[in-house]
């Protein structure tokens, strides 16, 4: 049920920008040139993984694909502890990011990605176990433009991962800076 809801949410997020963005692009050709450049971002990131609250970093790059659509690569690393064990999780995903209303100071976006996650649990350097999961993430965020190249970015994702241990649904929140290269 949660899975169906998540994928439905993803479809809703990804559908509208085609019409909205094309109109916005016609209205702001100068802004479009900047908006179409590659962007890089680095963020502090919080991940709820299973029952644990993990903290870390998220870096991503997105490249102009077509109209308001961008290709996206995302790497995040989180760590923390739970019940005396040290936990670490690395997520690497790629996908697409539709932009809503390009060129505005506030620029919302959605994103849908597929990829993998590797988690490691360690106790006292004596016992270590690890798990590789496959799945995807659905998310949304907003850029607040600080200058023509810099923006403050906040985003939230919902990671849906599958492994031998079953399904996991991990929410992730990130806040950081994005830098957009000129096209």
Partner 1 sequence: MWRCGSSPTSPSGVGVKLQGVVLQDATAASASAGVSAQSTTNAGKIVVTVQENPSLSVTVSGNGTFEIQGLPAGGFTLVFTVNGVTVGQITITAVAEGTTVKIVVKVSEQEVELVDMETDNDTETGTGDQGTKTCVIEGGKVGAGIELEGNVDSGSSSQFKLRVNGNRSSGLVDVAASAASYKCNGKKGGSDCKANLKPGVKVHVRGNLTSCGTSAATVTATEVMIQKD
Residues making contact with partner 1 (CB under 8 A)? 2-3, 48-52, 82-85, 87, 89, 117, 119, 121, 123-133, 161, 163-171
Q: Which is nearer to partner 1, 50 or 154 (CB)?
A: 50
User: Least distance in Å: CB of 136 to partner 1?
Assistant: 14
Q: Which is nearer to partner 1, 38 or 79 (CB)?
A: 79
User: Least distance in Å: CB of 116 to partner 1?
Assistant: 12
User: Least distance in Å: CB of 122 to partner 1?
Assistant: 8
Q: Which is nearer to partner 1, 44 or 167 (CB)?
A: 167
- How far is 65 from 18, CA to CA, in rounded Å? 12
Q: Which is nearer to partner 1, 37 or 80 (CB)?
A: 80
User: Least distance in Å: CB of 114 to partner 1?
Assistant: 17
DSSP secondary structure string, the chain?
-HHHHHHHHHHHHHSTHHHHHHHHHHH-HHHHHHHTS-EEEEEEEEEEETTEEEEEEEEEEEEEEETTEEEEEEEEEEEEEETTEEEEEEEEEEEEEEBSSTTSSEEEEEEEEEEEEEEEEEETTTEEEEEEEEEEEEEEEEEEESSSSEEEEEEEEEEEEEETTEEEEEEEEEEEEEEEPP-
- How far is 52 from 39, CA to CA, in rounded Å? 31
User: Least distance in Å: CB of 3 to partner 1?
Assistant: 7
Q: Which is nearer to partner 1, 53 or 64 (CB)?
A: 53
């Amino acid at each position: 049920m949660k899975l169906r809801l998540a994928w439905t949410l993803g479809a809703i997020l990804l559908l509208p920008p085609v019409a909205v963005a094309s109109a916005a692009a016609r209205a702001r050709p100068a802004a479009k040139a900047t908006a179409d450049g590659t962007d890089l971002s680095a963020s502090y990131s919080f991940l709820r993984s299973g029952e644990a609250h993990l903290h870390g970093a998220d870096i991503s790059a997105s490249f102009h694909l077509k109209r308001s659509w961008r290709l996206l690569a995302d790497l995040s690393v989180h760590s923390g502890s739970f019940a005396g064990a040290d936990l670490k999780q690395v997520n690497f995903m790629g996908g697409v990011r539709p932009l809503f209303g390009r060129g505005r100071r506030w620029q919302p976006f959605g994103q849908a990605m597929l990829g993998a996650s590797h988690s490691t649990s360690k106790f006292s350097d004596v016992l270590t176990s690890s798990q590789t999961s496959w799945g995807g993430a659905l998310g949304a965020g907003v850029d607040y433009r600080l200058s023509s190249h810099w923006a403050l970015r906040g985003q939230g994702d919902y990671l849906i991962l599958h492994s031998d241990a079953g399904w996991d649904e991990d929410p992730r929140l990130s806040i950081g800076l994005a830098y957009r290269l000129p096209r």
